[in-house]
Amino acid sequence: MDVREVEEFKRGHISGARNLPLSQLTAQSLNKNKKYLLICQSGMRSKKAYKILSKADYDVTNVSGGMLAWRGKIKK
């Protein structure tokens, strides 16, 4: 789950990532039966998303370092 804004996501993202900007994130918008890996540009917004979702009992992991630390392929 990429929590960056739509324009940031369009400039490049991990293949298969779903975009749900932090500014639009609500706990009700996700399925509690799934595990979510959260990523943003540097890890700060995904950390905020992690706090929101973990408090609502979602199975979430914050990808440390965000896209700046990602070494895999990026889809545009």
Q: How many CA atoms lie less than 13 Å away from 58 in the CB half-sphere?
A: 24
Catalytic residue set: 40
